[in-house]
Amino acid sequence: MKPGIKLFVQTENGEGFFGDGRFRLLKKIDESGSIRQASRELDRG
C-alpha cells in the first residue's frame, strides 16, 4: 500500500471540470502524439 492523492477541479457551481482520467488521457496523448493511440493504451477505445 502507498499513500496517494486524487485531485479534481470544479467550476464555481460544483460541476466537474478536470480530474484524474482527463489528466492521464492528456499525458498519454502528449507521450504518443496520437489521440487514438492514447485511448487504446488507456482501454478507452
Start-to-end Cα distance in the chain: 30
- Domain-embedded: residue 12: no
- Domain-embedded: residue 42: yes
- Domain-embedded: residue 8: no
- Domain-embedded: residue 35: yes
* pLDDT tens-digit readout, 24-41: 899 999 999 999 999 999
Phi, psi values for residue 30, rounded to 5°: -60, -45
- Domain-embedded: residue 5: no
The pTM is what? 0.62
What the block records as the C-alpha cell of 15 is: 460541476
- Domain-embedded: residue 1: no
- Domain-embedded: residue 27: yes
Domains identified in the chain, total number: 1
- Domain-embedded: residue 38: yes
pLDDT for the residue 43: 87
Query: Which domain covers residue 29, as residue numbers?
Result: 18-45
